[in-house]
Amino acid sequence: MFLTDGVVGDGHAEVDIDDYGSFGRLVGPNDTDDFDPVGATPFTPTYMAGAYLFVQAPGDVEATMVMLTGHRFWVDLVEPPVNSGDGIIGPRASTLTRTVITPIARVAGSPAEARSVFTISDAPAIQLEIELHQVLIPDSTSKTSELRQTYTIRSTSTGTISLVFLGHWDPDLYYSDNSPFNDIVGAAPGLCYAYVRDPGSTTAALALGDGAASTVPRSYYYAGLDGVVPGAGPAFTVTNSTAQPVRDARGLPLAWRNHAANVGTDIPGDSVTGGDAAMGIEYRFSIAPGTMEVVELERVYGTVARPCRVSASCGDGLLTTGEQCDPGNAVDSATCNGATCTLAACGDGHTNLAAGEECDSIGLDATSCNGGTCLAPRCGDGYLNVATGETCDEGEGDTATCIAMTCQPSSCGDAHVNAVAGEECEVDDPLCDAFTCAYAFTLGGGCVGCGAGDANGALPWSMFVAFCLLRRRRPPRQRTAPE
């Protein structure tokens, strides 16, 4: 089913999703997903997005993995048709089933909202009913498109079930050079979401985060990059990127937990180098008979900046669990972001005026912000911001290599007289030598930059100068009386 945000032209987004919440270029039936950042040329940026559910009943030695997708292509990558071909792997694979009870349908009056219900069952030990609410949310202010997926999980099992819910996203962003293998991955300040972006862009990007409706805490995030070995490995590779989330005991390798490729474990930031990328967010929890839990995924196009979940008591002036600070009344202070109760830091995605910030582009240089200083860019501020077109910036005054007024390299012939670089003039001066930016003609003759045999340059002019300097006025003749 297609969900559409109802926007016509720039900013239009529609996603073809199934009953279980999967979508993408190779899992959708029509390959027509148009879920792009505002202003970007649509190029089917998502390879695959979906979820896995690992179910372990009392007495089970290991969990049974259930792939939450209705599309044959994805299922066959994990479990080829020579097996059962239902996307269920593990000790209960022969008896556990997933069944759509209420097929996906739009919520009345909302083309951007749909609901479905399915079950995961191996009665009586495992009886789970999952209601999925999916809504496409456009934001004209932030220029983003968000697919919010809320999984409400109810249990009527005979015992407490252990669950691992893994939201997975394998994107191929083609925006900068039509290549799917140059993506940058990273983890957010606060480590509350992972993201993938095109090199040099914060808008040709997507973020995967934990929604506010989740009743269980996020356990881990994953940010993998082709060829990178996090900890003890194994490496993420292009050839098995789609099947990779079910490797190693039917779960992502432990070494990948809270790991951002080329950055490290529990460290926010970019991988810097690019490659084929994948990311995930994981929840580990138990659910007792007759109880309910909620997992909400936020899948966002058009940004690498998503706010971390805010505690219910943020703004009361009291420091409580989940808060790093709390100045009260949601007002920023020089050390605290009042809206999120997190410590103020340049690069955290929140523009904190009280901390002296003028902008905050999460550490990435942008045309409107110096990522490293959180100040508006200005040529001559001493900060090199390539996004604004600067190729150098060495402060207020010219240097031998940089023009302070333009933040471009200094060179003879650039129409700017740079005295620090030894220039006396520029080519717009008819007496200026074009090769040396020094005055061509000097007292005593000679042409700076002219060849010794240049009959049209040095010789005529030197002769003229010599004539002017050496000419003497002859004294008047004295008259004598005639003899």
Tokens of 209: 């985060």
Whether residues 360 and 253 fall in one domain: no
Band (pLDDT 50/70/90 cuts) for residue 148 is: very high
Whether residues 19 and 97 fall in one domain: yes
H helices of 374-430, in order, are none
Domain for residue 396, yes or no? no
| 50-54, 179-183, 345-349, 454-458: range with lowest mean pLDDT | 454-458
Q: Is the pLDDT of residue 354 over 50?
A: yes
Whether residues 81 and 20 fall in one domain: yes
Would you say 292 and 198 are in contact if contact means Cβ atoms under 8 Å apart?
no
**Residue 395's closest CA among 379, 373, 412, 374?**
379
The angle at the Cα of 131, spanning 125 to 133, to the nearest 5 degrees, equals 155
The DSSP symbol for 478 reads P
Whether residues 253 and 350 fall in one domain: no
311-326 tens-digit pLDDT: 778 888 888 876 788 8
Domain for residue 410, yes or no? no
Tokens of 298: 């936020």
Whether residues 197 and 224 fall in one domain: yes
Band (pLDDT 50/70/90 cuts) for residue 458 is: very low
Would you say 266 and 191 are in contact if contact means Cβ atoms under 8 Å apart?
yes
Whether residues 236 and 334 fall in one domain: no
Domain for residue 407, yes or no? no
Domain for residue 436, yes or no? yes
Whether residues 431 and 368 fall in one domain: no
Domain for residue 204, yes or no? yes
Instruction: Taking residues 155-164, report their average pLDDT.
Output: 95
Domain for residue 93, yes or no? yes
Band (pLDDT 50/70/90 cuts) for residue 45 is: low
**Candidate ranges 186-190, 206-210, 428-432, 473-477; pick with highest mean pLDDT:** 206-210
> What single-letter amino acid sits at 7?
V
CATH number where 82 lies: 2.70.98
Domain for residue 139, yes or no? yes
pLDDT for res 451? 44
pLDDT for res 125? 95
Whether residues 186 and 296 fall in one domain: yes
Q: Is the dihedral of CA 448, 451, 455, 456 positive or negative?
A: negative
Structural domain harbouring 338 = 317-376
Would you say 389 and 409 are in contact if contact means Cβ atoms under 8 Å apart?
no
Cα gap 70→473, rounded to integer Å: 107
pLDDT for res 306? 74
116-136 tens-digit pLDDT: 999 999 999 999 999 999 999
Domain for residue 480, yes or no? no
Cα gap 295→132, rounded to integer Å: 10
Whether residues 331 and 287 fall in one domain: no
Largest CA distance in the chain: 155
Whether residues 262 and 353 fall in one domain: no
pLDDT for res 387? 80
Q: How many domains does the chain have?
A: 3
227-284 tens-digit pLDDT: 888 876 777 776 655 545 544 444 567 778 888 888 988 888 888 888 888 889 999 9
